[in-house]
Structure 1
Amino acid sequence: MVKHRSSAAHTEVDAVVIGAGVVGLAIARALALSGKEVIVLESESAIGTSTSARNSEVVHSGIYYPPGSLKAKLCVDGNLRRLEPYCQEHGVPFKRIGKILVATDESQIEKLRAFQRNAKQNGVHLEWLERDEALRMEPELHCVAALWSPNTAIVDSHRLMMEFQGDIETCGGSVALNSSAISGDVSGSRMTLRVQDSSSGEVSHLAPGILVNAAGLQAQEVADRLKGLPAQHVPKRHLARGCYFSLSGKSPFSHLIYPMPEEGGLGAHLTLDLAGQAKFGPDVEWVDSIDYRVHPERAEGFYHTIRRYWPTLPDGALQPSYSGIRPKVNGPGEPNADFMICGPQQHGIKGLVNLFGIESPGLTSCLSIGEHVLGLLDQPRTSNL
């Protein structure tokens, strides 16, 4: 294991990962398992408090993403090859609960068929359900046809992140909380980084051989602070807030229920947590700043959407729960963008990787993203992922 080395007031370290969400921790874990000394910088006082803590915890199968895209490849690889074995080995709660994607009227049938064809190209197995077959699985459901996705799952994302942190520390790495990357320089023969401790205000200086920007919602802000990174390699950030509403009382459904996707998201779907409690969301609201308030009046749109597939949803059954912000690189009215994982092949800076637009299926893909980043850095693949 390489030890800290001090040079010209900079502490040399093999690798620094900025951002201790599920993706940043998975990348840091992959680097640590490949033999690198890793420091993870997290500006908050705990790991995974932003996007990673504000999602539906669904492990997606890869239905929607364009064949050949990073989202498709990394999602399918993460779902089928990596995440479940890891969770089983480390005792992370994981359940293949399955998902039903529904067409609620005849006009949606062709779109449902198109999703089935797309999924097949991605290597994803889906079963076509006629109305009676779907109702045998979920008697309260309204649909004219549906797709059954047996490989869709749910996972305890916080426990997963804790296990990733444990792996990093077992390999000699560390997670530095309350630590913000306030500036950096990637223009010279070595990269440098200024880091501030938000508790004490103390500033330290690092010289990483590898620098990975996995700062999620702040990824563009971090990239803008790196002297020597050309501006054309930093995409514009767009924010899409998604609110969740919880269901009071017991859920009549035992599987995840998804309507047809809407612009910017997958529609207000029904998700069950590992305890069987139902919640609905997220919707899509384009916003200009990070604001996690859930406005109760948005429930009206939820009732309208949900009653297309669950007509007997009682009045007053939805309670405001929480919201998340998607870090998008496409704006309103634009096609959903792929993950942007930009390494030396794109910007020409050795050892630097920036990740932008890591929204869903980022959780599903996290271990695969870690391996992908190793490949961009020409690092040896880990042997026990």
Structure 2
Amino acid sequence: MSKTWLIARQEYLKNVRRRSFLLVTFGLPVMMLVLMGISILSSIRTSDASTLGYVDKGGVLSATVDDPGFQSFAGTEEAIAALQDKLIQGFYVVAPGYAETGEIELFYWDRQPGAGLQERFDAFLRDNLVGSLPPDVATRALAGPQDLVVGTADGSRESGSAGLLSLVLPFALGLFISFALMCSAGYLLRAVTDEKENRTIEIVTTSVSPKEFIVGKAAGLVGVALTQVVLWAVVIVAGLAVVSLFTDALSGIAISWGLIGVLAAFFVPLFVLAVALVVTLGVAVADARQGQQLVGAFNVLFLLPLFFSPLLGSNPDGPLMVFLTLFPTTSLLTIAVRWGATIIPLWQIIVSWAILVTCAGFGFWLAPRVFRQGMLRYGKRMSLRGVIAAVRAPG
């Protein structure tokens, strides 16, 4: 156990110090924070104290609602003069017959008024239009439709308009976990092929068994994956908390703890299976270059549900989606993709998890054998016959 721990510790420290790891793990959150900061600053700047004017030729802004932020002008010439003197940033002209045509024009010089300022004028205009209505009717008219319901294709799940984003979150969460898993698997492939290529593996195997070596590598990379997931999750949660201070668009998000529990149950066996596949791939290829060429095919095994995501709208419970749910490498992402679109039968989740655990157990048993069979094949790739020989080998 001490040797396994030393290998895991060394593998973890080696990978978290890589430039590529630091760039992806910290660079991506920093980029997200910068983008959110720019968006927030833009929102603040567009909500400045600049003034808009208006010329009401349609007679709909007859001082029903008083907003000191907007200046009324009797005619277009007067508004243009104020614009030239930089007393206002721009002005609207409400056309005659606005109630029937909805025609309105915005005039400004070189810089268009900010979106926040325009939204304030839109709200000002709407308040005027409903000013003659009873207060309760005006409130309902301004609020718009409140009974928009989004349902799944089979009619078994419904969500209000505030829950629209909740239908997308499971997909994003599954993709997020799959990406972290593939990054860690890529590190393991590089580790196996590099140590095989530079011959250090010959020294390592004199002190540890293949099983200790594989378990140590896998444990270290599980730590790497969890480090990425935790850091990204903290940044995402913090970012959403900050964004929620400036908008109510996130108020309808509901966290599905059932989905989080299912994905957590699938993550560990799926990672073990990925480790087994990567070790077999790393030992089978002749050098690191060949291994990198096969990484794309390896990633497709886990991202295959993305290619069939259009089926979610038409047939999320079709045979193909059920097959991808039960197939070991695609099970986690498929469940995440289907979760927001339909009710996944419990038996499918249980059977899928059982198949995944069985395959992970077989892979955990196979990986050390394949590694032992091919670890000293420097410059040579391992054939399918060699893999079969490793399976049949005693011990």
| TM-score interval, smaller chain | under 0.3
Could you tell me the TM-score, scaled by structure 1's length? 0.20
Greater Rg by CA? 2
Instruction: Choose between structure 1 and 2: higher strand proportion.
Output: 1
Instruction: Choose between structure 1 and 2: higher helix proportion.
Output: 2
| Larger relative contact order, structure 1 or 2 (CA cutoff 8 Å, min sep 6) | 1
